[in-house]
Amino acid sequence: MTKAITTNIARKQWDLDALNETFAALSWTQRIARLYDFFEEREVLVTSSFGTKSALLLYGISEMHPTQPIHFIDTTYHFAETLAYRDQLAKQLGLTIIDVLPNSAENALTREESWWEEHPRMCCAVNKVAPLEPLKAQHRVWISGLMAYQTNFRANLRIFEQQGDILKFHPLIDLTEGEFLYYFGLHQLPSHPLEAQGYGSIGCTHCTKPGDGRAGRWAGTGKTECGLHPGYFVKKGKD
């Protein structure tokens, strides 16, 4: 089975069922290590928001493949506490962080017109989704720390999913909340400083409030995802 999967990957014809079957029996750390049997480091993209749930995946990568760079999408709207947390984890786990910034003119327009108020999806598209597109084009597989218990969208994801031209890899997807908390404590990982103030999930300052789970993200808008993971890009005038 492994040989067949390797052949399909080389041809960029993903046999998702075979991949998911192969990785299903592995622990989340074994999945991360096993990924590099199929892909070279330069083909692997890792992004992190350095939010409340980010540290466990980062720990796993630092243990299983410590030379893997971590891309941080700097929307310019992050909490100061998030930037400090990023630096803390980078030092503690020995991470190589690469900042990814939006187009400066478009970012300035979102600021001048406060797009997060009337056009939150467009704001995310400009400041999160668009800056990542060139990076995705340079990689073959994208590691993400999504977990099924977090949202209805994430509950339907498998370990491997095709998203456009890139393969998404979710090594933590089937961890329960209890398992996540157990491993987080076991490896003595620091919590995001805003978590103690009631923030269950943390993104940009304008669109994040205290709340359980992701209840504080885009509160009152019906929006639960920024667009990176569902894979849509909202063009201007389509908001």
Q: Which amino acid is at 50?
A: F
Q: What are the two backbone dihedrals, phi and then psi, of residue 88, each rounded to the nearest 5 degrees?
A: -65, -50
Provide the edge-to-edge strand list for the sheet that holds 141-143: 44-46, 141-143, 166-169, 160-163
Q: What is the pLDDT along the chain (239 residues), one digit of tens a residue?
A: 333 344 333 434 568 999 999 999 999 999 999 999 999 999 999 999 999 999 999 999 999 999 999 999 999 999 999 999 999 999 999 999 999 999 999 999 999 999 988 888 899 999 999 999 999 999 999 999 999 888 788 888 999 999 888 999 999 999 999 999 999 999 999 999 999 998 878 889 988 887 665 565 555 555 454 445 454 333 333 33
Euclidean distance between CA atoms 61 and 69, whole angstroms: 9
Q: What is the pLDDT of residue 239?
A: 33
Q: What is the pLDDT of residue 102?
A: 96
Q: Which residue has the tokens 């398992």?
A: 179
Q: What is the pLDDT of residue 13?
A: 55
Q: What is the pLDDT of residue 234?
A: 31
Nearest alpha carbon to residue 14 among 163, 227, 144, 229: 163
pLDDT tens per residue across span 175-219: 999 999 999 999 999 999 999 998 878 889 988 887 665 565 555
Write down the catalytic residue from 123, 124, 207, 226.
226
Residue 226 designated active-site:
yes
A 10 A CB-CB count for 69 gives 14
DSSP state of 159: S
A 10 A CB-CB count for 50 gives 25
Domains of the chain: 2-207 (3.40.50.620)
Provide the whole-model pTM: 0.82
